[in-house]
Structure 1
Amino acid sequence: MKTKLIRIGNSQGVRIPKPVIEEIGLSEEIEMILKDNQIILRSAKQTRKGWDSAFEKMAQKDDDQLIDKEEVEAPSEWDETEWTW
């Protein structure tokens, strides 16, 4: 597909046809990657999407406890030698 650069203020841009946007699922925020003299546009990944509901479900099942709690809470050699109370 060929298109032309258009002037947007002091910059230039590219119009992406609505069917293309819908087909690949672009949202308001996109990620632009420059690689091998190419520009790649893709939907911005929503970091940690759905984690809030997953954590709520874990808490309801009492499955949100540390699996290495004893190891994490046990004093380390650094705690014993370096830490001053």
Structure 2
Amino acid sequence: MKKQLHLQIRQIGNSRGLVIPKVILEQVGFDEEVDLIVEGSTLILSKPNKSLREGWAEQAKAIAQAGDDELLLGDFNNDEDEDWVW
């Protein structure tokens, strides 16, 4: 069920923000961080999906140990890249 709450946008330093009532934060289970998605003129807040980066460090180590971590475009600090225009 959708519930609507009217909030004022407030000045917070050089930025602007919303104060979300504690009872609402508890109801949706928000803690210290949220993910923000912008769809047109709609803002969507959700719990962070921490699993997106879960295991990245271990995967990077495995790639390095397998020797499969070479640069795809080469080293930009050598003479082989004379064709590049900056």
Q: Are 2:44 and 1:36 aligned?
A: no
Matches within 5 A, 1:3-82: 3-47=7-51
- CA distance in 1 between partners of 2:33 and 2:22 (Å): 15
Q: TM-score, normalised by structure 2?
A: 0.53
Alignment length, in residue pairs?
51
Name structure 2 gaps, 5 residues minimum: 56-86
In 2, the alpha carbon distance for the partners of 1:16 and 1:8 equals 14
Give the superposed CA RMSD: 2.1
Q: Percent identity?
A: 30
Structure 1 residue runs without a partner (length 5+): 52-85
Structure with the higher helix share, 1 or 2 = 1
TM-score, reference length from structure 1: 0.53
Spell out, residue by residue over 1:31-78, the C-alpha distance to the aligned partner (whole angstroms, 9 max, x if none): 000013100111111216x98xxxxxxxxxxxxxxxxxxxxxxxxxxx
More strand by share: 1
Structure 1 residue 29, shift from structure 2 partner: 1.2
